Structure 1
Amino acid sequence: MLLLPFIAAYFFFLFKYPVIGLYTCLFLGFVATGLTRYIDAPLGLSIDVFLALTLLATFFQRFDSKNWQELKNPIVASVVIWVLYCVFQLFNPEVVSYEAWVYAVRSPAFYMLFTLIIGLLFIKTLQEVERLLHVWLAFSVLAALYSFKQYFIGLDDAEKLWLSQNASTHLLFGNLRVFSFYSDAAQFGAAMAHAALAALILAFGKYSIGRKLAYLVCAGIVLYAMSLSGTRGALFVLLVGIISYLLLSKNFKTLLVGACLVGGIFFLLKFTYVGHSNYQIQRMRSAFNFNDPSFQVRIKNQLKLSEYLETRPFGGGIGSAGYWGLRFSPDTFLAKTPVDSWYVKIWVETGIVGITLYLLITLFILLYLGVKLWKLNEYRVKQPLLALYAGIAGVFVANYGNQLLGQMPTAILFYLSIAIIYNLVSGPSSTKGIHHT
């Protein structure tokens, strides 16, 4: 009863300023999964609720169809094609559980479409972009600091209980892989790499010395947290993101220096044993070892899945593999075979037709935005957009190793980045986005 006035006030402001719903979803993306260790409730569904409420509030605010012009673009059109394909998966003869489809389709399809729509409608100016970046980096630093508490001070009772059920992946040779308040160490490490990449690129922008130092300190904190997570795939977020940034920055001297730096890091990890006594460096070095046992297990699983899918061009149905497969159809082949990778999951559930369509659409978006950024010469707005684009490119590649786009907050930040870049370089509000600072 005491909370009712605050709840009423929240909904009043939500329907007056729907962008509040976007930040609510971002906040929940950071903390909802972690809170499930303490609260026995489906908090993951809260993101769905607030996405829907934000869209409803937007509809009431923009009832006139003239206010939806931002959505008439090739990015939205391509995503709608993918969403329709996912809906048509309901008629896939291989579907075992329609209930699993309801839960599983949210992540690859509806989160993408809804977040993209909200981002296109509400994040249109450089000021709004920088506000979002700062909120993201602040939450990332908070998550990193909490992971330091886990590593140096210890876990609380709820985290110990969770670790007891996940010790095989999070307690290796007596070393804890920290997970902060994220779903697991892999997601946490990739998210830290994503934030570090953005902070490093922003630090090279034309800002004040104090602001540059703040970005560098932020990058250092989250990079250290990434190393404590023991997540090997996070390295590819950084490496691919840095290469993307160097190419699109069109500064060929910086490109040469950066290429040498990235190449040097790769050489040290792949061909030397420098720092090998440090466990975190050992973990990172194993990312480039194709004879690594866990990598070989993944390859064997993919070969088994390939044989199974030879006669199933549309896959086994959305929700047939991974967590939802184990929950709703635990005795099936797909549920019992680990998929690990986001792309393998898409391939298994939607078939060769689905993964081909998904990759073509994603590559189209990357190339479309990349070309627009290449032509953009307004440095003040280009630097934060390059930070976002580098993150998209890094996550796109790292998705092969982990299901990054199946987890928050990486998914919501990935889709928001697409919307933001489009708005400021090619959308109907691009001129406003560049000049309104």
Structure 2
Amino acid sequence: MNQLIPSFETRFRGLALALGMLLALVVGWLTVNQGILVPGLLIVVALGGPLVIALFYEPRVGVIALLSYCFLLFVLAREIPGNLPVGLAVDGLLLLTWVAVAFNNERYDWHNLQNDLCFLALAWFVINILELGNPASVSFAGWFQEFRSASLYWFLTVPLVMLIFNQKKDLNLFLYLIIGLSVLGTLNGLKQLYIGLSPGEQIYLNENAKTHMLWGKLRVFSFYSDAGQFGASQAHIALVALILALGPFKPWKRVLLLSAAVLLIVGMFVSGTRGALFALISGIAVALIISKNIKAFVFGSMLTLAGFGVLKYTHIGDDNYNIYRMRTALDPNDPSLNVRLHNQLVLRDYLSSRPLGGGVGVIGNSGIKYNSDKFLSTVPPDSYWVKVWAMYGVVGFVIWLGIMLYILGKCCGIVWNTRDPVLRTKLIALTAGVAGSLFCSYGNEVINFMPSAIIVYFSWAFVFMSPRFDVSPLD
């Protein structure tokens, strides 16, 4: 008789099945009426819940998720309709990870934050707060939008890495992630070029055809914000992979790293981003100088100069659009270069009587959206160096550039004194990549956009921390 009465477990399964079918019908109906936004949000909730739990159990998870998300956030921006503020998730991950650290504060050594890199981050953060009082009186919304990329992310990320992501294994994981995700970006870029665009990518291209379709050729942008950021980031990580491929590692690792470097250089070329070429050149120059290897310096310099000479003084490869596009970066009569120089002359005249600049968020995308009534919003900055000059004036620009050069110089000094040859190779790669990204930013907005910005912040932190785990092979 008892066998005829359904058990609690059987009834629960039946109820769960009925509720599941009802939920599926509701989601299906909402998807038909609202598009893929509803299932997209359900996926976010399904992934976000376990992530928050794991993050509070082990805050390192937040740092890893942050790094990965900064590569992939524009996939969500393009493929999910509704103009979701996906960039705010970066802020959310940073703040949530800091809350998790506060809940586990006894596990960490807070003395790790007593260094000049964190102090400089704090100083630049304070300067940006004080910019709210700039006489130019820019929009608060524009200030906040620009403040996040100009200072807030640096201020929150560097100490976080130094506090909870500060071991040799973390450095290795960082290198695996940035190279792996960048190669994934290259493969997606080649898919765009040879197979086609996804629906979201096609919409983006339609809206930005003026800058991403030149002479009928696609400037590949992959899952990055635009082709400029894609090309510069590919050059940055190609440089890192190439230097690692020349290091004291197992042959199979060197082959994989060299293959990744070649693939990433291809990604740089198909992006059509001419400024990325200078990321390679400047990064290689810094790597050769701090390598303390005279033979490598002489050979590398000759090879770099030979490559420069081929691009500058010959027409070899002109039948290939991507090579021809890169060659125009070295042409002083290039129309695009002359427009940029003209814009800089306009800014020089305007800023000559404004040593404190026009205010944070007055130029570029934030200026167009939030400060359209200001003159500076009508002038394209093209360069992050120029953007800093326009926002902070000559006073702020000198401070910013001084901070950047100090950090780069300190990184070079740390590398110079590193004894462990394996660690030294990794630090050379990171320092050269940072230098390339910084100098490339003279021609494009690079160092303030994701993922380049987050890679630079992590790289700074690892180089500054490295003396802690430097061991001589003779020790």
**Shorter-chain TM band:** over 0.9
Distance across 1 between alignment mates of 2:217 and 2:300: 32
Q: Report 1:25-424 matches (<5 A).
A: 25-39=66-80, 40-62=83-105, 67-424=109-466
Deviation at 1:12, TM superposition (A): 2.0
- For the pair shown, the structure with the greater C-alpha radius of gyration is 2
| Contact 1:119–1:416 under 8 Å retained in 2 | yes
Distance across 2 between alignment mates of 1:274 and 1:286: 13
Identity among equivalent pairs (%): 38
SS in 2 for 1:400: coil
TM-score normalized by the length of structure 1:
0.95
Distance across 2 between alignment mates of 1:410 and 1:94: 30
| Contact 1:108–1:405 under 8 Å retained in 2 | no
RMSD: 1.7
- 2:21 maps to 1:14: no
| Contact 2:287–2:432 under 8 Å retained in 1 | yes
Distance across 2 between alignment mates of 1:304 and 1:8: 51
Structure 1 letter corresponding to 2:340: R
| Contact 1:107–1:405 under 8 Å retained in 2 | no
Distance across 2 between alignment mates of 1:73 and 1:159: 43
Deviations 1:313-364 (A, max 9, x none): 1111101111011111223211111001011111101111111000001111
Deviations 1:72-94 (A, max 9, x none): 11111122111111110000110
Distance across 2 between alignment mates of 1:369 and 1:158: 40
SS in 1 for 2:109: helix
Distance across 2 between alignment mates of 1:350 and 1:56: 32
SS in 2 for 1:318: coil
Tell me, which stretches of 5 or more residues in structure 1 are unaligned?
none
Distance across 2 between alignment mates of 1:218 and 1:372: 27
Structure 2 letter corresponding to 1:136: I
Distance across 2 between alignment mates of 1:349 and 1:219: 36
Deviation at 1:131, TM superposition (A): 1.2
> Aligned pair in 2 of structure 1 residues 27, 150: CA closer, same or farther (>3 Å)?
same
Deviation at 1:121, TM superposition (A): 1.4
| Contact 1:115–1:415 under 8 Å retained in 2 | yes
| Contact 2:109–2:163 under 8 Å retained in 1 | no
> Aligned pair in 2 of structure 1 residues 175, 434: CA closer, same or farther (>3 Å)?
farther
Distance across 2 between alignment mates of 1:420 and 1:5: 33
TM-score normalized by the length of structure 2:
0.88
The runs of at least 4 aligned residues of structure 1 exceeding 3 Å deviation read 1-8
Higher relative contact order (CA 8 A, sep 6+): 1
Deviation at 1:272, TM superposition (A): 1.3
| Contact 1:35–1:181 under 8 Å retained in 2 | no
SS in 1 for 2:78: coil
Distance across 1 between alignment mates of 2:179 and 2:52: 26
Tell me, which stretches of 5 or more residues in structure 2 are unaligned?
1-22, 24-41
Deviations 1:375-431 (A, max 9, x none): 112102111111111101111110101110221010000011000001012xxx345
